Amino acid sequence: MNMSKDPRKAAMAQIHIAKKQLGLDDDTYRQMLFSLTGKNSCAKMTISELRRVISHLKKCGFQNKTQTFGQRPNPGAGRRPLMSKVEALLADNGLHWNYAHSMARHMFKVEKVEWLAPDQLHKLVAALEINVRRQAAKQRESGDE
């Protein structure tokens, strides 16, 4: 499965990058995981627990330099709040801006997100939110949450 479509895998990869960047030995790393979640392995964690670990690692100095979500489009002033919502949904789910551009092409036959009209941006945000709920339901069904 592509990591950009599986937020758990993307989060686990980010945690392992942080472990290396912060120079954590395995014992210290597992103790930190256990103190935050009651679990000593990322594989056993829910997405919310993984995000809690990432947040803690950022407080400890982790800077994720390798993760990029593409260049943020520069819409007109009236569309900036919606574009910020799109950006947040993409980032929270480990998705690249190209995913949003692809959705714009699929849904509206428009090549770039920044070219969408405000009503189209609303529909794109709704579609991204539906995708988030669908992914969460899949995780619950598979016993991950």
List, for residues 8-61, the tens digit of each pLDDT value: 888 898 898 888 888 889 999 999 999 999 999 999 999 999 999 999 998 888
- Residues 136, 85 within the same domain: yes
Residue 119 domain flag: yes
Q: Is 99 exposed, middle or buried (0-12, 13-18, 19+ CB in 10 A)?
A: buried
Rounded Cα–Cα distance for residues 78 and 39 (Å) = 45
SS3 92: helix
- Residues 127, 83 within the same domain: yes
Sign of CA dihedral 103, 106, 112, 117: negative
The reported pTM is: 0.51
Residue 18 domain flag: yes
Residue 72 domain flag: no
- Residues 51, 89 within the same domain: no
- Residues 52, 83 within the same domain: no
Residue 67 domain flag: no
Q: How far is CA 114 from CA 67, 129, 133, in A?
A: 22, 19, 24
- Residues 44, 9 within the same domain: yes
- Residues 82, 134 within the same domain: yes
Q: Compare 142 and 109 and report the one with higher pLDDT.
A: 109
- Residues 88, 133 within the same domain: yes
Q: Exposed e or buried b for every residue in 40-50, given b needs 16+ CB within 10 A?
A: eebeebbbebb
Q: How many domains does the chain have?
A: 2
Residue 27 domain flag: yes
* Mean pLDDT of the 92-97 span: 80
* Domain span at 110: 77-141
Q: What is the pLDDT of residues 110-138, one digit of tens each?
A: 998 989 999 999 999 999 999 888 888 88
- Residues 81, 137 within the same domain: yes
